[in-house]
A and B are shown apart, each in its own frame.
Chain A
Amino acid sequence: MNIVVCIKQVPDSDKVKVNPETGTIIRAGVPSILNPYDHFALENALKIKKDTGGKLTVISMGPPQAVEVIKLALSLGADRGILLSDRAFAGSDTWATSYAISKGIEKIGNYDLILCGQMAIDGDTAQTGPGIAHHLKIPQITFCENVSIANGKAEVSKLVDGGTLDMQAELPALITMTMPSDYLGIYPSFLDVFDAQDKPVETWSAQDVGAEAKNLGLEGSPTRVDKIYAPERKVQGEIFSGSANELADKVLEFLKQGRFIK
């Protein structure tokens, strides 16, 4: 079973702030991490590899420093790491990104299963995974809580409103993974990190993967980010004072007036 996991380096979202004057993200002091959904997808891929054998390849697209998340994946047990890095990719939206990654996966070739995180926490679009499946013309199942391989098919539990849906897909297929709300990613031991230093990370350009320039970057992106801003907090709190009994009465009155209770 040859698996490809698509991963992305993202700023740790708990710590990201937007400068209200310039509308830009304040990056100083904000650590970069492996997108948690991708982390979960990678953990699932490692389990499948343990059961079925085969080769696990991770692929990412980003600036040269994104090599850090590939090294993390290699430390955790991935066999091969590929970074798509080229100025031609800069400014790509989810459509152009999924095109570029699909070209990278075509170059990897001989894959049975592609796992992606449901979405990246810095964009929340959930479009790149489905976009890759579209470009590769393979089946896809999104928002899966788990994935396993049985009888040559991918079996998943897909999260839907009010429950889960057990589904199967013929291989090759692309699965996007959601994760438990309290998920803390697995981490490698110091020795695993040290050993992974010997595993090379391959860097591929647009030309290497045969991606056409007109489909990449700003030119190849049908969508544009107009502005990034933190929503202004408009609701003012109300402060009551008085004795405990008076306060209880005031809160009760407030709740009734607001029709929160009858």
Chain B
Amino acid sequence: MKKIDSMSRNLMLESLKRYAQKHISFDFLREHDAENKFPAELLKDMYDPKVLGVHLLLIPVEYGGLAGSTSDIWRICEALARIDLGIATGVFATFLGSDPLNVGGTEEQKAKWFQKIAKEKLFVAYGATEADAGSDLVSLRTRADRVMENGDIKGYKLNGSKMWISNGGVADLYTVLALCPDGPSWFLVEKGLEGFTQDHHEDKHGIRLSNTAGLSFEDVFIPKENLLGLVEGQGLQQAQAVFGYTRLMVAAFGLGAGLEAGETAVKYAKQRVQGGSPLVEKQGYMHKLVTPHFVKFEAARAYIDNIAKKLDVDNHGLATEGAIAKYYATEAGNNCAENAIQALGGYGYTKEFAVEKIKRDVKITCIYEGTNEIMEMTIYRGRWQEHLKTRGTYFSSMGDELNVVHQKDANLGADSIALGLKALAILLEECRAQRLTRHQFVTFKLGELIAEAEVAKTFCEDLGNGVIAEGSKFDVETLKAMARANAKQVAFKIASEGMKLVLGAGQSSAQDLMTKTNFVAIQDLQRGITEDLDTISSKLKEIF
């Protein structure tokens, strides 16, 4: 089957950028943001196959689409987020809404509906969340009761409600998860059906160009051919099959929006002269407010790129990796946007500058597609199983692999992250021995530390293998400085915060833990971080 090649991917990204330059001014975004207005015409134009056809990325080639790979879609998601996260969310909602059809639809269902979505530029919405069923879809209450005729199933009657549905008030087609007699199932629901109503557009903190609304179903009749896969009870597996993939897209949103804020801050700092020199030349300003975020973004980029390539081979699974990417990149994006306001001072606090809007927008990436606390728990659960299965060697083996990377190239910080991974294995073992994971907070924190460790590992390892993530603007030497600074800080964080956690919740001896985690060696390797951050700051000044 024909796939988009990397050159074409870059041409599509360029087309999207040029489209935005021509049609999406900052004034347009500000006006729609202020009026809480969904730019329907603009999105229909972006969906037009003769203009851009951005929605075709998720549609198989045989139905008029482009069958974009995970690598294609994350890059487009990053680019969309740099334009506007509300618009990006509108497009993503169509991707997400089409996913159950992709995963669970029969060939006939795919042929019928994908061709309609492609040609008629349909807005699609993904209707899963309910008042009591957010990240916990098992608590689903919307019912789909069978409608019988002469002993056969003629269709279903939907009753219930959904909330926080992106594109909820504007979609032409909805994929709705409801509880059938044989279990949760996905249904295709067209707008305008009797008994199907949409609530008002939510007045949100950010992503105000994205329509968000609740849905109500009162005896809405759905013909049986609109049950995806034509078999009841497959809904939860179908939903979970694509979490790795969909969360990677939200990770790309965090990265794109965060980078936009960060680059705005660097450009401002180059122009703003205080005390006789531009802010960009002031070490404290850069090291506190700007530079560390770019380190995290490049680490996130390396990780997203790495996982996307794995998902290109098989578009399912990797739920833990998807959670790591989503958690890490969205926290990085959100933190950078917060500091970008600070970096612009009073200007950053006004609506005249984009960072104020980006900060409001990017916060949602820490919430939707599973809150970041759910991500921490998912990461912890996934890796805790591995820790138990391997009798505590899961992370220490990773550490051994990184020592091999360090032998090949001593400039990547792989020795630091190797120590960090080994310390993580020790800390997890302490948690197991003392049953500390009965404390929910311990599981959250472990999820955070695991995410940091695995991202830092991938960043070092891929650079060591000569792999530079797609879309990076930095040269190899700067990326190495970033990987080094990141590895050192992550190792220190794992050891220090992990020890704090274990000591606070359990009965360990501090001296004993210090020795076991090799904390002094980790501290010794902190040397050089300031120099590396200086190098990175100079590069930021040079290229933006």
The B-contacting residues of A in range 69-84, CB under 8 angstroms, are 71-72, 75
**Residue tally, chain A, CB below 8 Å to B:** 22
Stretch at the interface among B44-52, B343-351, B501-509, B516-524: B44-52
Selected contact of B50 from candidates A71, A184, A189, CB within 8 Å: A189
Task: Point out the residues of chain A lying under 8 angstroms from B12, CB to CB.
Answer: 190, 193
Selected contact of A189 from candidates B7, B15, B475, CB within 8 Å: B15
How many whole Å from A22's CB to the nearest CB in chain B? 13
How many whole Å from B89's CB to the nearest CB in chain A? 19
Decide yes or no whether B53 CB sits under 8 A from chain A. Answer: yes
Check A184 against B15 for contact (C-beta < 8 Å): no
* Complex CA distance for A72 and B15, rounded to whole angstroms: 10
* Complex CA distance for A71 and B21, rounded to whole angstroms: 21
Task: Point out the residues of chain B lying under 8 angstroms from A75, CB to CB.
Answer: 11
The A-contacting residues of B in range 449-484, CB under 8 angstroms, are 473-475, 478
* Complex CA distance for A189 and B19, rounded to whole angstroms: 10
Check A185 against B15 for contact (C-beta < 8 Å): no
Decide yes or no whether A191 CB sits under 8 A from chain B. Answer: yes
Task: Point out the residues of chain B lying under 8 angstroms from A188, CB to CB.
Answer: 11, 15
Decide yes or no whether B18 CB sits under 8 A from chain A. Answer: yes
Check B49 against A17 for contact (C-beta < 8 Å): no
* Complex CA distance for A180 and B51, rounded to whole angstroms: 22
Decide yes or no whether A68 CB sits under 8 A from chain B. Answer: yes
Decide yes or no whether A29 CB sits under 8 A from chain B. Answer: yes
Decide yes or no whether B8 CB sits under 8 A from chain A. Answer: yes
Check B21 against A68 for contact (C-beta < 8 Å): no
Check A187 against B18 for contact (C-beta < 8 Å): yes
A 187-216 binary contact with B (CB < 8 Å = 1; else 0): 111110110110000000000000000000
Closest to A19 in B: B542
Closest to A74 in B: B11
Selected contact of B7 from candidates A29, A30, A33, A68, CB within 8 Å: A68
Closest to A28 in B: B475
Decide yes or no whether A228 CB sits under 8 A from chain B. Answer: no
A 5-22 binary contact with B (CB < 8 Å = 1; else 0): 000000000000100000
Which 6 pairs from chain A and chain B are nearest by CB? A29-B473, A29-B543, A187-B15, A187-B18, A28-B475, A190-B53
Selected contact of B543 from candidates A26, A185, A197, CB within 8 Å: A26
Check B7 against A67 for contact (C-beta < 8 Å): yes
A 22-52 binary contact with B (CB < 8 Å = 1; else 0): 0000101110010000000000000000000
Selected contact of B11 from candidates A26, A30, A72, CB within 8 Å: A72
Decide yes or no whether B312 CB sits under 8 A from chain A. Answer: no
Check B53 against A29 for contact (C-beta < 8 Å): no
* Complex CA distance for A240 and B1, rounded to whole angstroms: 69
Selected contact of B56 from candidates A26, A28, A190, CB within 8 Å: A190
Decide yes or no whether B4 CB sits under 8 A from chain A. Answer: yes
Task: Point out the residues of chain B lying under 8 angstroms from A197, CB to CB.
Answer: 2, 4-5, 8
Decide yes or no whether B87 CB sits under 8 A from chain A. Answer: no
Decide yes or no whether B10 CB sits under 8 A from chain A. Answer: yes
* Complex CA distance for A130 and B367, rounded to whole angstroms: 60
Task: Point out the residues of chain A lying under 8 angstroms from B389, CB to CB.
Answer: none
* Complex CA distance for A202 and B474, rounded to whole angstroms: 31
Task: Point out the residues of chain A lying under 8 angstroms from B48, CB to CB.
Answer: 189
Task: Point out the residues of chain B lying under 8 angstroms from A191, CB to CB.
Answer: 49, 53, 56, 66
Task: Point out the residues of chain A lying under 8 angstroms from B8, CB to CB.
Answer: 71, 193-194, 196-197
Task: Point out the residues of chain B lying under 8 angstroms from A189, CB to CB.
Answer: 15, 48-53
Task: Point out the residues of chain A lying under 8 angstroms from B7, CB to CB.
Answer: 67-68, 71
Given A28-B474, A28-B475, 20 new contacts (CB under 8 A)? A26-B542, A28-B478, A28-B542, A28-B543, A29-B473, A29-B474, A68-B7, A71-B11, A184-B18, A187-B15, A187-B18, A189-B49, A189-B50, A190-B49, A190-B52, A190-B57, A190-B66, A191-B66, A196-B8, A197-B4
Q: Which of A72, A75, A189 has the most CB of B within 10 A?
A: A189
* Complex CA distance for A255 and B57, rounded to whole angstroms: 60
Q: Check A194/B473 contact, CB under 8 A, given A75-B11, A189-B15.
A: no
**Can you show 24 pairs from A to B with CB atoms below 8 A apart?**
A28-B475, A28-B539, A28-B543, A29-B473, A29-B475, A68-B10, A71-B7, A71-B11, A72-B14, A75-B11, A184-B21, A184-B22, A187-B15, A189-B15, A189-B51, A189-B53, A190-B53, A190-B57, A190-B66, A191-B49, A193-B4, A193-B15, A197-B2, A197-B4
* Complex CA distance for A26 and B57, rounded to whole angstroms: 34
Task: Point out the residues of chain A lying under 8 angstroms from B473, CB to CB.
Answer: 28-29
* Complex CA distance for A148 and B326, rounded to whole angstroms: 53
* Complex CA distance for A184 and B48, rounded to whole angstroms: 20
Decide yes or no whether B259 CB sits under 8 A from chain A. Answer: no
Decide yes or no whether B54 CB sits under 8 A from chain A. Answer: yes
Task: Point out the residues of chain A lying under 8 angstroms from B49, CB to CB.
Answer: 189-191
How many whole Å from A32's CB to the nearest CB in chain B? 10
How many whole Å from A38's CB to the nearest CB in chain B? 15
Check B18 against A190 for contact (C-beta < 8 Å): no
